[in-house]
């Protein structure tokens, strides 16, 4: 059964009259009748009840009308979206990036996208992992980079694409700042300032769990703030510590030290809708789901 035949059948089913349907399709009535009979032979039963004043749909015809409309709509959407990607300068790919991701990560993803479609334009949006997941669910971004773990809706899927080591961030005046690394057992006497759990509960709990698994006795601060606010506060609190990547070492007044002997690692994942029809996203998803891991170089 061809899309052309489905269009013929839908026209007859909507007009309930062969002549009017033929005029709508700009074909002859005998040609239309031949095509409908061909469809009926393929499905193995009548789809229309023909009468002197028009036609009626059989039960099978009602089913085929509903499914045909869905198929034709899907075909039109696929053609429209494929044309948009195929025409340089017209395709826009909406990429969501979790707050605080390494600066090189969106650049590497943009390079992958442009290698597959040189004319694509990329629109970036930022937010927490939870916000990015909600944007995906509402179809407001095509691909989102999230910090794992995160809870996703059933219609979303994700795959790990990059890892980043986390360590201890502290004031240069902190007692542990003189060491080249920090043992988890030495953290128990120091106030740990974390971001608010509501912002990313799964990530918050995962970081604390990893610290405890490594032998740290965590003294969680009553203060909860954004990562940027924590970095501003720590130089003024020489008895407190935070958790962050080596990128925090560039902040004036702070030092970063790795955890030893077992590093603390955070994972970034790419997520997308399993029902997407975006052909460019399909090629990206195939590459990422195949085990591709991104790095800064």
pLDDT single digits (tens) 149-200: 988 888 999 999 999 999 999 999 999 999 999 999 999 889 999 988 888 8
Q: What whole-number distance in Å separates Cα of residue 18 and Cα of residue 54?
A: 7
- What gap in Å lies between CA 109 and CA 106, rounded to an integer? 5
Mean pLDDT over residues 68-75, rounded? 90
Between the CA of residue 252 and those of 127, 146, 182, what are the distances in Å?
25, 28, 20
What's the predicted TM-score (pTM) here?
A: 0.68
Residue 209 pLDDT exceeds 80? yes
Give helix 104-116 / helix 279-289 axis angle, nearest 10°.
120
pLDDT of 224 over the 90 cut: no
Residue 10 has pLDDT above 70, yes or no: yes
Alpha carbon distances (Å) from 268 to 97, 106, 110, 164, 236: 10, 11, 16, 8, 31
Nearest to 171 by CA among 149, 194, 190: 190
Q: Is the pLDDT of residue 219 over 70?
A: yes
By residue count, the chain amounts to 297
Look-up: residue for tokens 């902190």?
174
- CA angle (240, 243, 249) in 5-degree steps: 90
Tens digit of each residue's pLDDT (9 = 90 or more) over 33-44: 999 999 999 999
Q: How far apart are the C-alpha atoms of 192 and 58, rounded to whole Å?
A: 71
Of residues 255, 265, 261, the one with CA closest to residue 172: 255
Reported as a single tens digit per residue, the pLDDT across 225-258 is 888 899 999 999 999 999 999 999 899 999 999 9
pLDDT score of 78: 79
Query: Residue 128 phi/psi, 5° resolution?
Result: -70, 170
Statement: residue 93 has pLDDT above 70: yes
What per-residue confidence (pLDDT) applies to 235? 93
pLDDT interval class at 85 (50, 70, 90): low
| pLDDT, tens only, 105-158 | 998 998 888 888 877 888 999 988 888 998 998 889 999 999 999 888 889 999
Alpha-carbon distance of 269 to 133, in angstroms, equals 11
Predicted local distance difference test score (pLDDT) of residue 223: 85
Q: What is the pLDDT of residue 279?
A: 78
3-state secondary structure labels for all residues of the chain: CCHHHHHHHHHHHHHCCHHHHHHHHCCCHHHHHHHHHHHHHHHCCCCEEEECCEEEECHHHHHHHHHHHHHHHHHHHHHHHHHHHHCCCCCEEEEEEECCCCCHHHHHHHHHHHHHCCCCEEEEEEECHHHHHHHHHCCCCCEEEEEECCCCCCCEEEEEEEEEEEEEEEECCCCCCCCCCECHHHCCCCEEEECCHHHCHHHHHHHHHHHHHCCCCCEEEEEECCHHHHHHHHHHCCCEEEEEEHHHHHCCCEEEEEECCCCEEEEEEEEEECCCCCHHHHHHHHHHHCCCCCCCC
Mean pLDDT, the chain, integer: 88
Give the side-chain half-sphere CA count within 13 A for 291: 0
Give which of 269, 261, 268 is closest to 289, Cα–Cα: 269
Closest of 171, 291, 165, 182 to residue 237, by C-alpha: 171
pLDDT at 90 over 80: no
Answer whether residue 91 shows pLDDT above 80. Answer: no
Rg of the chain on CA atoms, in Å: 29
């Amino acid at each position: 059964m061809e899309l052309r035949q489905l269009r013929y059948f839908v026209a007859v089913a909507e007009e309930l009259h062969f002549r009017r349907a033929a005029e709508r399709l700009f074909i002859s009535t005998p040609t239309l009748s031949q095509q409908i009979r061909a469809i009926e032979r393929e499905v193995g039963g009548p789809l229309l009840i023909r009468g002197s004043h028009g036609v009626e749909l059989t039960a099978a015809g009602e089913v085929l009308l509903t499914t045909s409309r869905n198929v034709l709509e899907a075909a039109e959407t696929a053609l429209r979206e494929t044309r948009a990607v195929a025409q340089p300068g017209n395709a826009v790919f909406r990429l969501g990036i979790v707050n605080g991701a390494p600066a090189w990560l969106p650049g590497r993803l943009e390079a992958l996208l442009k290698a597959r479609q040189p004319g694509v334009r990329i629109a970036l949006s930022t937010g927490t992992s939870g916000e990015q997941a909600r944007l995906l669910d509402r179809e407001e971004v095509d691909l989102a980079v999230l910090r794992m773990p995160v809870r996703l809706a059933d219609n979303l899927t994700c795959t790990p694409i990059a890892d980043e080591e986390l360590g201890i961030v502290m004031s240069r005046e902190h007692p542990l700042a003189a060491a080249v690394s920090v043992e988890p057992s030495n953290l128990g006497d120091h106030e740990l300032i974390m971001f608010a759990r509501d912002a990313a509960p799964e990530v918050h709990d995962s970081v604390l769990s990893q610290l405890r698994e490594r032998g740290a006795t965590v003294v969680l601060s009553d203060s909860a703030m954004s990562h940027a606010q924590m970095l501003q506060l720590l130089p003024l609190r020489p008895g407190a510590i935070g958790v962050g990547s080596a990128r925090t070492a560039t902040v004036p007044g702070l030092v970063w030290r790795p955890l030893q002997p077992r590093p603390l690692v955070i994972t970034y994942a790419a997520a997308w809708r399993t029902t997407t029809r975006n052909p460019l996203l399909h090629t990206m998803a195939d590459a990422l789901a195949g085990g591709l891991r991104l790095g800064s170089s």
